[in-house]
Structure 1
Amino acid sequence: MRPTWLKTSLTLIMCATLWLPGPASAAQTAKPAGVAAQVKAPKLVVVMVIDGLPSEQVQRYRDQFGPGGLRRLLEQGASFTDAHQAHGITVTAVGHSAVLSGAYPYRHGIIGNNWIASNGQQVYCTEDTRYHYIDEETDTHDGTSPANLRVDTLGDQLRYASGNRSKVVTVSGKDRGAILLAGKTGTAYMYMDKTGDFASSTYYMDKYPAWAGRFRAAKPQDRYYAKSWKPLLDDKAYADDAPYPEATTINTNRFPFTFYSDSGKPAADYYGRLKASPAIDELTLEFAEAAVDGEQLGSNPTGATDLLGISLSGHDYVNHAYGPESRMSHDHLQQIDRKIAQFFAFLDKRVGMDNVLVVLTADHGFANTAEFSRSQHVDALRVDPKALLDKLDGALAERFGGAKLVKTSLLPEVYLDYAAIERRGLARADVENAAARFLLTQPGISEVFTRTQLEQGIAATSRLATLMQRAWNRQLSGDLLVVPTPYTIFSSGTSGASHGTPWQYDTSVPLLIMGKRWIRPGEQGGYTEVVDIAPTLAQILHVRRPAGAEGRVLTEALR
């Protein structure tokens, strides 16, 4: 539940009407003053998630946006300037799950991109070996279904209310980005790293519809070969390059970035290079356009409202590689803005934007690279997960007589070995507390929450504790949740940036809602959460809220 210090008070407005005897006149049967007719539902709801977009980047670069994309959303829609992914482990799968379920991780069951099962094996958030990609290679841990999502979504409720006449289609550069937006009954398409195609799985269908088959056959991803990503704006529009521009094995660290393959023709390494560039987002939006035409989204012959989910993955890859402070990240957001403007122009022609409701948010924010943060006199570190786990193992062995008591770790989660603890006749709480005390002595560690604390409920102690409580699932999560100090990241590498913490830079995301008939334009400064999106859309669409939804209706933005 949201803590009391975040709850918004509700005002009940009562309208009294006068009863008059005798036959009713036309005036007497008219609607009382102040009672508006029910507004017709949108023909199409478009939910856009820009992966890894901090709210501050939208505000910092907004004067450089073109007129038809993000600026249009900011000026014609409701802009929530204090919106948050309000849970403590801010990663892609968790954030995408919150958008249309309205639920926190402890309820929706997606506690990370990966976690450890009771048998000690690693689980990927959307893996399901009962299904496979259609006409694509499928590895064991590839995302093929929403089986691990324990709740329904707004799209599921929309289809239920319409007798399955509403269509729900999602597309993303990442499998988890598409699958977790699609919910249980939508249809997800995702980018394939090895081929550059958009594929779906046998969970959704046995074969592709004709429009998707045509898109795949056209191979639009190959048109970038030997071309380059160059800055969109004049050189003077960008701040000086960050003093630590980061490089990865995918890209070098200076413009222009040329898309190529070591083989001399489009191949897996070339398709991988497209991911950390504007190309992946352009392809995603083009596939979304093909879906609008192919599925008649927004022109549903039954008159039912359709839902299109779009997750743009490129910004996350760019920020991981170079940091949100980089020129590359700055330019990438400008490129996304122009592509969104083109997509809105397409929707205007096909559906009419007056018939469309648009929501734009992000799954998480981003920390700056540790090197950049240190240049700003911030104590930012890179903490090697394996080295930290080895030290913890050693400290517990010394404390409890040589026993190996740590089973494994996927930081920020640490899993203890219950069998070893039982064999030694130890109390779990004693081991948890000893582990927490040791970890808190290590550089870069701010807080440690134990299973015993989380089972007893710690939400009332602080905002940080509330976020970590929401992030923890009793059946799935580890025995320790480890929070790094601000701007410190868990990483064994020496470059790049990351996210995943409860600190403001990771939780603060944009939340923009635009729809002429339903949304009152203007900036909203009150605290809001991404889990508020699903209840708000349910209100507008007159459908039942998803079962696990805990957000509120954003009434301040409704007409």
Structure 2
Amino acid sequence: MTLKSISQHRHSTLRRALLSSLVAITLSSTCQITFAANEHGPKIAKAPKLILVLVVDGLPNEQVQRYRHQFGEGGFKRLMEQGAWYGNAHQAHGVTVTAVGHSAVLTGAYPYQHGIIGNSWFDPNTSSSVYCTEDTQHTYIGTETKASDGTSPANLKVSTVGDELRYATGNQSKVLTVSGKDRGAILLAGKTGTAYMLMKKTGGFASSTYYMNQHPAWHTTFHANKPQDRFYGKQWTTMLPEAAYHGDAHDDLVAPANSSSSKRFPYTYDSASGKPDAEYYEKLFTGPYVDELTLDFARAAIDGEQLGNNPAGVTDVLGVSLSSHDYVNHTWGPESKMSHDHLQRLDRLLAKFLSDVDKKVGLDNTLVVLTADHGFANVPEFSKSIKRDANRLDGSKISSALNQHLTEKFGVEKLVRKWSAPYVFFDYSKAEAKGISRADLENTAARFMMSYNGIAATYTRTQFENGQLPNDRISRLMQRAWHKQLSGDLTVVVKPYWYFGSTNSGTSHGTPYTYDTNVPLIIMGKPWIKAGAYGQYAEVMDIAPTLSHLLRIRLPSGSEGRVLTETLK
């Protein structure tokens, strides 16, 4: 190379380095995140003013598909027609419960990383139960706080999109979440957002001392007239003509007269005292009114915090977790008339809310995400009526039988320390003191559990730690759900359409089967997203990296999802 060419090469390298530095400085200083128009190329969309994340608790994707022809114009239909809608999207882990699913949405992480392995779990070090969002260092503001109440994200081990956005903008972006459930709000808010949750004792929304010492003025104004009391004495009954519910499961299957879920339409919101009280506020969760109240509070937060109109010009995040569909499906099942009607009512509530967001912020300035934390199994009685093998399993009884079997086999009592579905915890120290190897204890227990009708698979701690798993979908999902420090020593998976439960009615979720994992995933935002129905496989874990890409911010610390590039303009 000549001296001249060396000089030209160095100057070219210097120019590239200076250009890279200027780009980095520009991105760093404008994490408002406003992208400039390209003078000689296509326009680059400005960053959203608001990221609106809607999580419908307990909504299987099949319900959205099955009832879509009855939706109004402004809710689910608007999102599906104007957004990118994935029909094959999944909560891609094996323990599909509320806390785990909400943790996935904005972390992009699986449980083995984010550390939320259930709604609650057994701590073998303290021999006590741990609630997913409990933190005894903090209390609810102005409301009684019990030891196991959710007050902070202390147990969440990774960052969220909101955390990274606030870091990128010098904490100027606002991240606010609201839910009927503490875990629904806290696990969306991350470490640096602000969460509000509905108090069952008072019917009002409260935050905790983790976030602030006292509520803002707009919060006080919202509660001044006790909006939670306006539903007292109201009845919930069908909204659509009776013919619209043809094909739903008969009430005798989902609400038999001799069951704990025997109540049917009309469902009345009242209490024995004759006035609004804790009994009434708890009743509100099963039906449309807690969701209506949650969306009203979200409207107040948009106004009170100027969400989407941030004075600093940066992007804000509003997370809204709508809790009631989960309560309805637990009580009557997703095949019921009650669940069908509730989804239609939720559709209309969402339509009004999106219309208000359009007026307050502008939907062309808002990126909307809608998903769910998990799906649902059908009520076993309904499954049996259509020739499925289905039932409930009482885990505590099986655990007792396992303990008895191990005692007879090894001559040692209480080798099972705890049953916490889907996990069994062993007393390894007691076994090893008697010369019983961990592998022998685990394998003996696994074989016994497999002898039960309704059990499909078991996985031992040794299998997980050594990666000795079958190469199939269920095994992969269970591996992702298993946390080395927190999860149990034996993991038990039920057969399809079975679940662990001791009641005589209703249904649940929590398995790795598609009826529990397949949830809606819709992203709408005209400047950024190409509308359409997408058949590609996608995961809820893909939401966080996609949002991070659009916002030009660092990925959350545990993110493993992919950017949904096929949807991006």
Q: Which runs of 5+ in 2 are unaligned?
A: 1-36
Structure 1 residue 31: Cα displacement: 6.1
Distance verdict in 2 for CA 1:523–1:458, change over 3 Å: farther
Structure 1 residue 39: Cα displacement: 1.6
Equivalents in 1 of 2:407, 2:262: separation in Å? 43
Structure 1 residue 253: Cα displacement: 2.5
**SS of corresponding position for 1:218:** coil
Which region of structure 1 is more displaced relative to structure 2, 323-332 or 37-46? 37-46
Whichever residue aligns with residue 428 of structure 1, its letter is R
Deviations 1:483-526 (A, max 9, x none): 00000010111101100000010000000000010000000001
Tell whether 2:253 aligns with 1:244.
yes
Equivalents in 2 of 1:502, 1:223: separation in Å? 40
Tell whether 2:400 aligns with 1:393.
no
Aligned to 1:6: none
Query: In the alignment, is the contact (CA less than 8 A) between 1:246 and 1:323 conserved in 2?
Result: no
Whichever residue aligns with residue 253 of structure 2, its letter is Y
**SS of corresponding position for 1:231:** coil
Pairing 1:525-544 to 2, within 5 Å after superposition: 525-544=535-554
Whichever residue aligns with residue 268 of structure 1, its letter is A
Structure 1 residue 38: Cα displacement: 2.8
Aligned residue pair count: 529
Deviations 1:98-144 (A, max 9, x none): 00000000000000000011211000000000000000000000000
Whichever residue aligns with residue 100 of structure 2, its letter is V
Among 95, 99, 116, the residue aligned to 2:105: 99
Aligned to 2:9: none
Equivalents in 1 of 2:58, 2:457: separation in Å? 24
Aligned to 1:272: 282
Equivalents in 2 of 1:154, 1:241: separation in Å? 40
Tell whether 2:131 aligns with 1:121.
no
Aligned to 1:3: none
Aligned to 1:70: 76
Which region of structure 1 is more displaced relative to structure 2, 387-396 or 91-100? 387-396
Tell whether 2:63 aligns with 1:53.
no
Equivalents in 2 of 1:31, 1:451: separation in Å? 55
**SS of corresponding position for 1:61:** helix
Equivalents in 2 of 1:284, 1:347: separation in Å? 14
Runs of 4+ in structure 1 over 4 Å off: 30-33, 247-252
Aligned to 1:322: 332
Deviations 1:185-204 (A, max 9, x none): 00000011111110100000
Tell whether 2:203 aligns with 1:188.
no
Aligned to 2:148: 141
Tell whether 2:443 aligns with 1:437.
no
Deviations 1:365-385 (A, max 9, x none): 000011110011101011011
Structure 1 residue 64: Cα displacement: 0.3
Aligned to 2:366: 356
Aligned to 1:11: none
Deviations 1:14-60 (A, max 9, x none): xxxxxxxxxxxxxxxx9698x53432100000000000000000000
**SS of corresponding position for 2:476:** helix
Equivalents in 1 of 2:189, 2:334: separation in Å? 28
Whichever residue aligns with residue 245 of structure 1, its letter is V
**SS of corresponding position for 2:215:** coil
Equivalents in 2 of 1:43, 1:531: separation in Å? 23
Aligned to 1:41: 47
Query: In the alignment, is the contact (CA less than 8 A) between 1:458 and 1:466 conserved in 2?
Result: no
Query: In the alignment, is the contact (CA less than 8 A) between 2:101 and 2:372 conserved in 1?
Result: yes
**SS of corresponding position for 2:342:** helix
Aligned to 1:163: 170
**SS of corresponding position for 1:38:** coil
**SS of corresponding position for 1:468:** helix
Whichever residue aligns with residue 318 of structure 1, its letter is V
Whichever residue aligns with residue 168 of structure 1, its letter is V
Equivalents in 2 of 1:229, 1:64: separation in Å? 19
Among 228, 234, 244, the residue aligned to 2:235: 228
Query: In the alignment, is the contact (CA less than 8 A) between 2:463 and 2:469 conserved in 1?
Result: no
Aligned to 1:203: 210
Deviations 1:150-181 (A, max 9, x none): 00000001111111110000000000000000
Aligned to 2:428: 418
Aligned to 1:285: 295
**SS of corresponding position for 1:526:** coil
TM-score norm. by structure 2 comes to 0.91
Equivalents in 2 of 1:123, 1:267: separation in Å? 29
Query: In the alignment, is the contact (CA less than 8 A) between 2:259 and 2:505 conserved in 1?
Result: no
Query: In the alignment, is the contact (CA less than 8 A) between 1:100 and 1:181 conserved in 2?
Result: yes
**SS of corresponding position for 1:366:** coil
Aligned to 1:109: 115
Distance verdict in 2 for CA 1:439–1:81, change over 3 Å: same
Query: In the alignment, is the contact (CA less than 8 A) between 1:132 and 1:138 conserved in 2?
Result: yes
**SS of corresponding position for 1:419:** helix
Structure 1 residue 421: Cα displacement: 1.1
Structure 1 residue 459: Cα displacement: 5.8
Distance verdict in 2 for CA 1:458–1:231, change over 3 Å: farther
Equivalents in 1 of 2:469, 2:145: separation in Å? 41
Structure 1 residue 418: Cα displacement: 1.8
Which region of structure 1 is more displaced relative to structure 2, 240-249 or 479-488? 240-249
Distance verdict in 2 for CA 1:250–1:439, change over 3 Å: closer
Which region of structure 1 is more displaced relative to structure 2, 327-336 or 395-404? 395-404
Equivalents in 2 of 1:50, 1:183: separation in Å? 18
CA RMSD of aligned residues (A): 1.4
Q: Which runs of 5+ in 1 are unaligned?
A: 1-29
